[in-house]
């Protein structure tokens, strides 16, 4: 199987392949084929310090790959960032400035940019270059309740809402419903869909390189755990940084100054949410999200990429 390059939050595909960063020797870089496989995993609303709960991610990806110690974003909203991932452009070129549907936001804004965005992007270009392509998970904000499938995608398994149970998806142009059983847990479903698409034993997988854009909603609110993980992090509390409920905010912007001090009840709610998202929201790749060290499911049941 072609060497698989596993990406987290980076669209700099060529940099990952060609850079001589930590953990990647020049000889290893030379061994990468002309058309490597790509698995691009995009988490939703995940904080940097969430990696504390992800030792396998750090061991399998950070220690053996490249880490970008600094990151800058021109428009730190969901839909503008996703549009940039697809197009490699700033918001003033993609036409997507916010998350709400309109001429300059959401999926509608993305589509209304003279048709450029959906007709010319990373998926269409890789598809033309001979790649099998797949989007598995969230596409863009406000993409919902439609059988529409954008060009350039061989596999299209797109979610519509932030529901972890009882939700619909667009499965290659057909609406399919998943209920409330344990097996319907969204991130598990996405994992299985990804495994099926990659399937290194399949004839197609061996004959063509692939690009898998895997975009679960975890750990975005409501951050529902799989039943097996409900009590994995009971009692976990939010890290109390110096800025947490800071009393003296005299040097802060006006909108910060106008905020009241958090009450005990509000702090308890914050801790409860942190506890709720402290469980492993996904085991898409080598049990690569939170809670993997306490998982009862072995890494072998997840994606094994070589």
Are 132 and 204 a contacting pair, CB within 8 Å?
Answer: yes
Q: Comparing C-alpha atoms, which of 292, 274, 273, 272 is closest to residue 282?
A: 292
State the DSSP code for 224.
Answer: P
Residue carrying structure tokens 């490249």: 66
CA torsion, points 228, 201, 216, 188, in degrees to nearest 10?
-20
| Residue in 78, 79, 282, 302 annotated catalytic | 78
- CA 70 to chain centroid, in Å, comes to 19
- Length of the chain counted residue by residue: 306
**Angstrom distance (rounded) from CA 271 to CA 170:** 35
Question: From CA 176, how far away is CA 174, in angstroms rounded?
Answer: 6
Measured CA to CA in angstroms, residue 304 lies from 1, 174, 190, 285, 287 at distances of 11, 29, 15, 7, 10
d(CA 138, CA 121): 17
Active-site residue 78, yes or no? Answer: yes
Q: Is the CB of residue 112 less than 8 Å from the CB of residue 95?
A: yes
Please state, in angstroms and rounded to a whole number, the distance separating the CA atoms of residues 52 and 179: 32
**Residues forming the active site:** 78
């Amino acid at each position: 199987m072609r060497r698989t390059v596993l990406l987290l939050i980076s669209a700099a595909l060529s940099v990952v392949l060609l850079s001589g960063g930590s953990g990647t020797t020049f000889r290893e870089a030379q061994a990468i084929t002309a058309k490597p496989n790509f698995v691009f995993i995009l988490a939703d609303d995940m904080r940097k310090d969430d990696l504390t709960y992800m030792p396998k991610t750090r061991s399998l990806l950070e220690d053996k790959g490249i880490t970008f110690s600094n990151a800058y974003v021109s428009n730190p909203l969901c839909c503008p960032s996703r549009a940039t991932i697809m197009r490699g452009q700033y918001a003033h070129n993609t036409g997507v400035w916010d998350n709400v549907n309109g001429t300059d936001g959401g999926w509608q804004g993305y589509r209304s940019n003279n048709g450029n965005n959906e007709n010319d992007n990373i998926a269409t270009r890789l598809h033309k270059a001979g790649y099998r392509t797949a989007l598995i998970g969230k596409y863009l904000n406000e993409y919902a309740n439609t059988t529409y499938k954008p060009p350039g995608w061989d596999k299209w398994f797109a979610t519509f809402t932030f529901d972890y149970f009882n939700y619909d998806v667009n499965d290659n142009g057909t609406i399919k419903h998943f209920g409330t059983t344990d097996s319907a847990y969204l991130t598990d479903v996405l994992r299985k869909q990804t495994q099926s698409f990659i399937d290194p034993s399949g004839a197609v997988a061996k004959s063509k390189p692939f690009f898998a854009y895997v975009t679960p909603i975890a750990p975005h609110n409501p951050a529902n755990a799989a039943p097996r993980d409900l009590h994995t992090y009971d009692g976990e509390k939010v890290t109390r940084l110096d800025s947490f409920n800071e009393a003296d905010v005299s040097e802060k912007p006006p909108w910060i100054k106008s905020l009241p001090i958090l009450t005990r009840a509000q702090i308890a709610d914050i801790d409860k949410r942190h506890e709720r998202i402290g469980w492993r929201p996904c085991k898409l790749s080598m049990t690569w999200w939170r809670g993997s060290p306490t998982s009862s499911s072995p890494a072998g049941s997840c994606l094994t990429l070589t």
